[in-house]
């Protein structure tokens, strides 16, 4: 597959990624990082780091403007994946009001379980974190760490919906909040 290439790699016009056809992304592809949310591959660059030359995806997040460089060879291990399509997002949004959540009372265990859910990159698991922490917040309040995790989880979910549907952040946030509180949203 031939794609547009950036200034970082002179003459480097092929998509980069893992060998065997797995996880190959091109400049302009919309992708999701499990711990940072969704964004766009802005460039593919070749750099020498610690004596080794590697190719990197230059990943620009759609929310907040953070830019990450992710080695192309380990993008699959990192959990980089294509953004969900419109059909998947609409199915998720309609499932949010009835999404089951189960959280342990032990703060430390709950935090670790929620962190694993976020790291999975699964949007349903991210939604479970949001719904569970939001419910707990309304009943008992959250610690600073859990409040930060709730904020991060919301940004991860909302950023992907924004990119998948091409909608404004605030509008998507309102829809997600309504769905989490039990309203049917499609």
**Contact (CB, 8 A) for 49 and 136:** no
Query: What confidence score (pLDDT) does residue 82 get?
Result: 95
Burial class (CB in 10 A: 0-12, 13-18, 19+), 102: exposed
**Contact (CB, 8 A) for 121 and 83:** no
Decide if pLDDT at 22 tops 50.
Answer: no
Which tokens sit at 33?
Answer: 């990082």
Residue 68 vs residues 19, 36, 96, 147: alpha-carbon distances, Å: 22, 10, 30, 24
pLDDT digits (tens, 9 = 90+) for 101-158: 888 888 889 999 999 999 999 999 999 999 999 989 888 888 899 999 999 999 999 9
Query: What confidence score (pLDDT) does residue 40 get?
Result: 95
pLDDT-based confidence at residue 90 (cuts at 50, 70, 90): very high
Residue identified by tokens 């949004």 is: 93
Three-state DSSP state, 34: coil
- Lowest-confidence pick of 10-19, 74-83, 88-97, 177-186: 10-19
Decide if pLDDT at 6 tops 70.
Answer: no
Q: Which of 155, 149, 109 shows the shortest CA–CA distance to 129? A: 149
pLDDT-based confidence at residue 185 (cuts at 50, 70, 90): low
- Lowest-confidence pick of 19-28, 48-57, 82-91, 146-155: 19-28
Report the percent of the chain where pLDDT is more than 70. Answer: 85
Decide if pLDDT at 19 tops 90.
Answer: no
Output phi, psi for 7, to 5 deg.
Answer: -70, -20
Mean pLDDT, residues 165-178 taken together: 92
Query: What confidence score (pLDDT) does residue 184 get?
Result: 62
pLDDT-based confidence at residue 186 (cuts at 50, 70, 90): low
Mean pLDDT, residues 67-86 taken together: 92
- Lowest-confidence pick of 4-13, 81-90, 117-126: 4-13
Q: What is the residue-wise DSSP string for 46-86?
A: EEEETTEEEEEEEEEETTT--EEEEEGGGHHHHT-EEPPPH
* Rounded Cα distance, 96 and 131, in Å: 8
The kind and range of the H/E element at 152 are helix 144-165
**Contact (CB, 8 A) for 46 and 9:** yes
- Lowest-confidence pick of 5-14, 71-80, 174-183: 5-14
Output phi, psi for 49, to 5 deg.
Answer: -130, 125
């Amino acid at each position: 597959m031939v794609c547009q290439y950036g200034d970082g790699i002179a003459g480097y016009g092929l998509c980069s990624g893992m060998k065997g056809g797995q996880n190959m992304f091109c400049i302009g592809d919309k992708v999701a990082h499990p711990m940072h949310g969704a964004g766009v591959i802005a460039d593919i660059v070749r750099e020498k780091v610690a004596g080794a030359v590697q190719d990197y995806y230059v990943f620009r997040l759609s929310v907040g403007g953070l830019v990450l460089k992710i080695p192309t060879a380990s993008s699959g291990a990192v959990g980089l994946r294509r953004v969900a399509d419109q059909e998947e997002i609409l199915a998720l949004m309609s499932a949010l009001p009835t999404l089951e959540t189960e959280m342990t009372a032990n703060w430390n265990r709950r935090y670790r379980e929620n962190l694993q859910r976020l790291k999975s990159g699964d949007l349903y698991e991210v939604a479970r974190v949001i719904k569970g922490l939001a419910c707990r917040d309304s009943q008992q309040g959250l610690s600073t760490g859990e409040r930060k995790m709730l904020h991060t989880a919301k940004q991860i979910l909302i950023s992907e919906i924004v990119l998948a549907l091409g909608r404004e952040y605030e509008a998507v946030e309102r829809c997600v909040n309504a769905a989490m509180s039990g309203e049917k949203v499609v």
